[in-house]
A and B are shown apart, each in its own frame.
Chain A
């Protein structure tokens, strides 16, 4: 079952159309919503949460229609908003327990669960401090804790690493990866930071100007069409590169002794072919590996 869908969705802020005839199906697992600022990621999230009403089209979350089953959806999901948000005047454990009670948990269950979730999110030592006194990293963690307290089946994480230092970011990404793999929780990570999505998600949807620019599993998107290999030579060899070109290949990039080579699609054994070319030009090959695009390449290609 898809975790969230949108079908011909149009969402407007006054005269400005943010999502126009937008359709997407997010499969189970961890999905990254990527896109430059203003691409419509957060708007899509807010529409799925029922915060915004689409002027046209349908949206569903966990098989439930956002128009008719908003409360059931919110019972099953957790939201970690982008903005700093908390309920003022409370310490962390009271806050999380209160949020649990808002989700319907009885008081004693909510309190126990609050302690568990705060420990899980690494706030065990600071659980009796007022949330207002927390650092940015701790505020991010408590936003995750409040999203998790009622045991949601789906988590929407909007820019989860905003304002975190490298150590805090690594820890947050580890937490998200831990939640989204093997815990039975589906995660939608909304971010413009590619490494965050790369580390936590199995699939990505790249958005641009309210439309899908590209989508698929990270593995599939990284693969290049045709026969692409990265070759590492002992030392740079122009003769080798020239021979590759003469044999019908293309050198897409060459930095120092490393180059990315696209061989003709008829090449059945690229390793043997490259070794033969190296032998005839006197070049020494150190390594040959299948070329893979980085998420940054995919993103830039999609939004450019």
Chain B
């Protein structure tokens, strides 16, 4: 057996003439340069590309989507079994059941959105602090604002995708399944409400977690503080609201604690989304108990909107104050 090989001849100038990597000498870069305006997006893309390759992100995404699946199933069953089922599950008008379903699904996914925001946002700047990466970033032609905007946008985009995509899928299902019922006529702004609620949630969570992350040198500490603040405020507000709610029910008056229920990070975010969806919730299937017939309405939109604005502003400002290439000890 014989094999014939064509003789190899080095090109003039050696291997480096055809393969620039084989040329080990240093050369200047004289290629094109992008404008500085998009450099924050480079920082954001790193977080997005890095995260969507991780299996845990898709697991959390599925968990966040599960409540949309559940409410999609409820809408399907309602379309099969009619008004009895609607009374049991929705306790709302036929037209309002879409917005109610989307808000309930959103409410069910909020915890998982927080977890996604936490695992992406908590290490976003803390990891760079730990690895002294800020000296690398800020020695390059990007500003602190570019860097912060990029980090924030990375977290925002991932939370937004996780909130918006499952809602969009459910919306597409509703359009296809309930077109004949005039869903677009009854709910012409529903898709915009979905976008706005997803955006508000992503903005709130990204600002909080990036703001805390900037002040930490350890991703674990950042995650612990972020989760602690989120869960502790939710728990305290929940307990306070529960006490006030039952006291109000026993006194026969409407609960006054709707704002107190939202005196937490999750409460503010949910309160804003509630205002965006603009639905009133009845507590279903409670028989003749004290909560029967109670209707929960969205908290004051101005208060919730202002609180979310403050949360975003404080988070971003806190991060901006802490971002610096070198530690300056002024004490």
Contacts and interface: CB of A to CB of B under 8 A. Distances in A.
A74 B131 CA distance: 21
A179 interface: yes
A22 interface: no
Contacts of B46: 87, 98
Nearest to B45: A101
Interface in B273-331: 324-326, 328-331
A224 B139 CA distance: 40
Nearest to A98: B46
B20 A87 contact: no
A65 to B, nearest CB: 15
B43 interface: yes
Contacts of A88: 127-128, 130-131, 133
A128 interface: no
Given A49-B139, A51-B325, A86-B136, A178 B26 contact: yes
Contacts of A109: 29, 31-32
A146 B331 CA distance: 33
Contacts of B31: 105-106, 109, 113
B168 interface: no
A46 interface: yes
A120 B25 CA distance: 6
A151 interface: yes
Contact of A89 (B42, B50, B143): B50
Contacts of B330: 13-14
Interface string A74-95: 1101110101111111000000
A60 to B, nearest CB: 17
Contact of A184 (B20, B28, B35, B325): B28
Contacts of A14: 328-331
A104 B328 contact: no
A116 interface: yes
A87 B131 contact: yes
Interface in A103-160: 103-106, 109, 112-113, 115-116, 119-120, 124, 146-151
Contacts of A147: 139
Interface of B: 20-21, 23-36, 39, 42-43, 46, 50, 127-128, 130-133, 135-143, 324-326, 328-331
26 contacts: A13-B329, A49-B325, A51-B138, A51-B326, A71-B141, A79-B139, A81-B132, A81-B135, A83-B135, A85-B132, A87-B133, A101-B42, A102-B140, A103-B33, A104-B35, A104-B36, A104-B39, A105-B34, A106-B31, A112-B21, A116-B27, A119-B24, A146-B136, A147-B139, A183-B28, A184-B28
